[in-house]
Amino acid sequence: MSAVVDEIPGAARWWARAAALCVLVAIVLPIAEAGVGGAVLLVVVGIAGVAITIAAIYWFLSRRGAVRAAALVLAVVVPIAVLALYIHQRHLWVVVVAGVFVALALVCARAALRIHHDETGQPEYPAAPVEKPFLVMNPRSGGGKVVKFDLQRKAEALGATVALLDGPEPIDVEALALEAVARGADLLGVAGGDGTQALVAGIAAAHDIPFLVISAGTRNHFALDLGLDRDDPAAGLDALRDGVELRVDLGDINGRTFVNNASFGVYADIVQSPNYRDDKTGTVLDMLPDLLAGDGRARLRARIDGELVDGPQAILVSNGPYTTDDLAGMGRRTRLDRGRLGVVAISVSSARQAVGLLNRARSRGLVQRTATEVVVDADTPDIPVGVDGEALRLPTPVRCTITPGALRVRVPRNRPGVRLAAPALDWVRLRELALPRRRTSPVAR
């Protein structure tokens, strides 16, 4: 018999070992400086400070009057008190250095796992030349980016017909796009917000013609997840002369297309307020206490591919799952062709549940799933819904589905691209990378 080491790339092995070393330093350093008891106290004080601060923030958002004021004071004072205690005990430098080594451990761990990560970018397809591109542009979107970047002139110089949404009356962009298709348009595009993008994208998908995204909106989430340059909307026009195609999924909510997400519950209720656009912060603080308590809000029920989630305060259904780099799972979508809806449902009715959200894996207040169908119902005939940033009211039940590869999106060949998601931390796999087991194989005699 002979011993053979499992085939593990050297880089992955050393990154994993570096992560283990950083964790070891982060543990040993506080013990060496403050002793076992002192190190435990530092950790307990830090965790308690974080928990109390999160609870205080929840009370600030969910209460009014004196309780809200007291919660705000607590949320500010507790972190300062923890910091002052560390300074008084002369342990601040230990906490800071240990925190740096923990951060380094995470960086090294993700580097080791990324080598074995099978995440790849979205495939590209050849794009046939177009002869009659038709673009809809909203001069008011994104603070006037259409005018700022001279998008109309640049598009027309490339042979596109441009329709400006600059009239005093609202314009039916779907009818505008349908009329363009009837006149022979072989590409549709939008320079505007994600809501307008979604409406025209639905028409392009229905007629199987390519769709062009120009990042002239305020947030441009769809453009971001397509890997476009959000700082230079005019760069999107390069797709007309040197482009490739991506096959993108489209979400559907009660017959309406969405490219990003549909939100239900607290957020959807807030954006319905006529005061929201003029005073976002004031409107949120004024409405949240009643909404979190359930006053004046419909009780929601979500069926996620058959799984029932009863009574969530907020539901977000996305056209493709978001990465889980942050607490709510609202990072970015690294691919838009997975054929699955992303679903996040949150229920927080107490400070304890708010603190519990820190442990996403075991929190009962947070549900994260992927699905092909989500049906949201309520005890009212209709509910507010935010669809790609647009405030709507839809009759219940509200059905969300996804159509894989429905949209042919034309993008510039040269673009920033999408940063691939970091792999999930798997400490068991890291141990295997750092200390590979030896396997035995028979030796021929």
pLDDT in tens, 103-138: 999 889 888 887 766 567 789 999 999 999 999 999
Q: Which of 434, 432, 430, 436 is nearest to 113 (CA)?
A: 430
Domain assignment present for 339: yes
Task: Give yes or no: residues 285 and 174 share one domain.
Answer: no
441 domain residue, yes or no:
no
In a domain, 331, yes or no: yes
Q: Which domain holds residue 52?
A: 2-118
Q: What is the pLDDT of residue 433?
A: 81
Residue 89 shares a structural domain with residue 137: no
pLDDT of residue 445: 46
CATH number at residue 235: 3.40.50.10330
pLDDT the model gives residue 117: 61
State the pLDDT at residue 5: 44
State how far the Cα of 31 lies from the Cα of 20, in Å rounded to an integer.
17
pLDDT at 207: 96
Written as tens digits, the pLDDT of the chain (445 aa) is 444 445 566 788 888 899 999 999 999 999 998 888 888 888 899 999 999 999 999 888 888 889 999 999 999 999 999 999 999 888 889 999 999 999 999 889 888 887 766 567 789 999 999 999 999 999 988 889 999 999 999 999 999 999 999 877 788 999 999 999 999 999 999 999 888 999 999 999 999 999 999 999 888 889 999 999 989 999 999 999 999 999 999 999 999 999 999 999 887 877 777 776 667 677 777 777 777 776 667 889 999 998 999 988 889 999 999 876 544 445 688 889 999 999 998 888 777 777 776 666 555 678 889 999 999 999 899 999 999 988 899 999 999 999 999 999 999 999 988 876 667 777 778 888 887 765 555 544 4
Q: Does 130 share its domain with 240?
A: yes
Pair (145, 90) in one structural domain: no
The residues, ordered by sequence, that sit 6+ positions from 362 with a Cβ below 8 Å of its Cβ are 356
Do 169 and 303 lie in a common domain?
no
Q: Please indicate, yes or no, whether residues 77 and 110 belong to a single structural domain of this protein.
A: yes
In this predicted structure, what is the pLDDT of residue 286?
78
pLDDT at residue 208, rounded to an integer: 95
Angle between helices 65-88 and 92-116 (to 10 degrees): 100
Give the count of domains, the chain.
Answer: 3
150, 101: one domain:
no
Provide the CATH number for the domain around residue 293: 2.60.200.40
